[in-house]
Amino acid sequence: MKSGHEDKIAADIQAVVDAGHKAGKVILETCLLTDDEITKASKIAAQAGADFVKTSTGFSKEGATVHAVEVMAAAVKGTGTAVKASGGIHSKEEVEAMVNAGATRLGVSHSMKVIGKE
């Protein structure tokens, strides 16, 4: 997204979706993108047929944020593409906030803590 070559990004995402449609997710490092870039990348992924756009790999400077999920959810609304929030979700309150923001799938590494069993 930083390069501004949306056509190349679209072709790359389309190739990823075509090659691995069973997984069907496109991971955006939302912490490295502007809201406009998140919107554009999410729309490109949806147009390519991705089942999900995911907020992060969990290996950058920040994981999922409620704001990024809101931006992604707005961008893919009505397309059949859903949002997966992943990275940095550690509590029931954070889970609820992500779901309320539009995430329909979550990546939670501390699941026992989230459900109150730890």
pLDDT digits (tens, 9 = 90+) for 53-73: 999 987 888 889 999 999 999
| CA–centroid distance for 106 within its chain | 10
Considering the domain 6-114 in this protein, what is its CATH number?
A: 3.20.20.70
Sign of CA pseudo-dihedral 31, 59, 42, 44: positive
pLDDT digits (tens, 9 = 90+) for 23-51: 678 899 999 999 999 999 999 999 988 89
Q: How confident is the model at residue 113 (pLDDT cuts 50, 70, 90)?
A: confident
